[in-house]
Every structure is written in C-alpha cells, then in structure tokens.
Amino acid sequence: MGTLRDLQYALQEKIEELRQRDALIDELELELDQKDELIQRLQNELDKYRSVIRPATAQQVQAQQQSLVLQPDQHRSKRQAISAEPTACDISALSHVTLPFYPKSPESKELIKEAILDNDFMKNLELSQIQEIVDCMYPVDYGKDSCIIKEGDVGSLVFVMEEGKVEVTKEGMKLCTMGPGKVFGELAILYNCTRTATVRTLTHVKLWAIDRQCFQTIMMRTGLIKHAEYMDFLKSVPTFQGLPEETLSKLADVMEETHYEDGEYIIRQGARGDTFFIISKGKVNVTQEDSANQEPVHLRELTRGDWFGERALQGWTLTASEYVNILH
C-alpha cells in the first residue's frame, strides 16, 4: 500500500513538474514572439533608413571635411538644407501664411501626436511643430484593397492612421502591416524623394493627412525663426562680431540648442570631443582633476557668449584635461 501511495505521490509531483515546464515554455514562447516583433520593427526602421540615406560619394565626404561643420550628423545636414541665408522678408512671408485648421476630437489629436512621437523620422520635431501638424491634418477614408501610396510615385501627402490596417510592400515583397497610431508616407516628403514603398489597405481605413506644402511651411517657418534667433545671438557675442555675415549665417545653419541641468557634465576630462559649444544662457564651471589627490580644482567660470570645445573642431582630442559643468 505504502508503495502505491508513494507512486501516486511521485506521479503527482511529475505532473506538477510537467505543468510548470509547460508554463515556462509558454512564457518563453511569448518572450520569443515579442523579440521577433522587436527584430521585425527594427528591421523595418533600418530598411526605411536605407531607402532614404544614400551612401555619400567621395566628393561629398571631402566637401564635408573641408567645410565648417560642427557635428556632421544627419540631423544637421537636414537643417543646412533649409536655406543658406534667409532674409527678414522670407520669415515675414512665411509667418503670414495661414495654415488650414481642421477641428478634431481630443482623442484624435492625441493619436496623431503620439503617432508622430513614435516615428523615428519625425519624433525630433519641436512640440510647437507637432501641434501645427495636428491642427492641419484633415480626414481621409479609403475602402478595402485600395492603393494609398505607389512605390516610385512623387509623394504629396503624409498620413496618420486612425482606424484600419494597411500593408507595406517594396518591389513586390511584404515589409510589414500597420495599424492605428502609425505615420506613413513621411519619407518622400521629408527627404524629397519618390515613394519608397507601396501602401495598400487590408481593411477600410480612416486616416489623417497633411499635404507637402503645409508640412514644409511648418518646417521652414520654425527653421527660419530659429536661424534669425541664432544670428541675433551670434551678433551679440563680441568674439563673433567681426565675422562676415555669411560666416555667421553658416554657423547659424549648423547650430543646435542643447540644454544641461544644473550640475550636469558637458565634457568630461580626457573624453574625446566632437562639439564646439557657445553658451547662450547660464554659467559653466571649468575644473581640472588635481593629479595628486584626483580632486577637481576650479579653473574658471564661463558665461553667456563664452565658448569652449574649439579644439574638437580641428579634429583634436580633448587632452587638455578639462571638464565643465553648468551652474545655472
């Protein structure tokens, strides 16, 4: 009897063990599915980047090396493309353009905003620009099996999906499906290229759309206003006052605002530098580690109009052992 009970007990234990293993397998399968989904999403993003970023030619690389580019990344070259030297006239003309306004529910506004913030190519827009895009978007509907975007066409609209499902294909191969809360059709407008893929509806879809002209007005207006602000700032800094207007304009083209919190490090001692900084607001503390006790020793304080990191522009490493932090 004792043996039978022991066997029953052992059987129960094995069943429990099997149940736990099944649960673990389910959990791991779920994790695997999530990782597959992530890989697919990253693969899509990579494909999108590949579609719009052509490899630089040797001439372009040389030109870039010879020009005064503070941080030659994708973001900056985009800003350079806005305008070489915008005039007060350009700014005034653009600020007088009245953009269309289409009322929408708070839920739709939120959906469009979140879709933009979720899109790698648009999430770095300023909040004021996103707000303007939200206001300008108008509703469009497509029935099942419609072609919204055809690969190779000239594009004129950017869409945000509110309801339904679409399929994205390239050269006949399926890239992905997209549901509500996704932006599409942004690449042709942002990079001034033809449509990089075909987008077809799988169900009836409800979309929000914005046309190229509205989109570019929003982009340029902010770009030009910023450019004018940077020019005013550079002209107010005694060190830059002697520079020709054209040079200041080139500087303003590639400048970008960055904010640091009180006490945050901007450059660490010994780190390789690639950025030239001009202080527009606040104070920066320059310190150097004392080699004897490794304590930071205060060297000087920099304020508005002061600059640092200039050695990075000449391609040097910051070996002078300085690090700075903002006081205000």
Chain residues in the site for ligand CMP (CB under 6 A): 44, 47-48, 51, 149, 155, 168, 175-176, 184-188, 195-197, 199
Region at 137 (left for phi over 0; alpha for psi -120 to 50; beta for the rest): beta
> For residues 285 and 296, what is the distance between their CA atoms, to the nearest angstrom?
11
**Which CB sits closer to ligand CMP, 51 or 77?**
51
Handedness of CA 307, 311, 312, 313 (dihedral sign): positive
**Which CB sits closer to ligand CMP, 23 or 42?**
42
Phi first, then psi: give them for residue 169, nearest 5 degrees: -130, 155
Cβ at position 51, least distance to ligand CMP in Å = 6
Cβ at position 186, least distance to ligand CMP in Å = 5
Contact 48, 121 (CB under 8 A): yes
Cβ at position 178, least distance to ligand CMP in Å = 7
**Which CB sits closer to ligand CMP, 155 or 164?**
155
Cβ at position 189, least distance to ligand CMP in Å = 6
**Which CB sits closer to ligand CMP, 48 or 221?**
48
**Which CB sits closer to ligand CMP, 157 or 267?**
157
Cβ at position 69, least distance to ligand CMP in Å = 27
**Which CB sits closer to ligand CMP, 41 or 304?**
41
Residue 4: helix, strand or coil by DSSP? helix
Residue 261: helix, strand or coil by DSSP? coil
Return the residue matching tokens 């509110």: 162
For the chain, the 3-state helix, strand and coil shares in percent, each to the nearest 5, are 45, 20, 35
Residues 6+ apart with CB under 8 A from 232: none
Cβ at position 21, least distance to ligand CMP in Å = 37
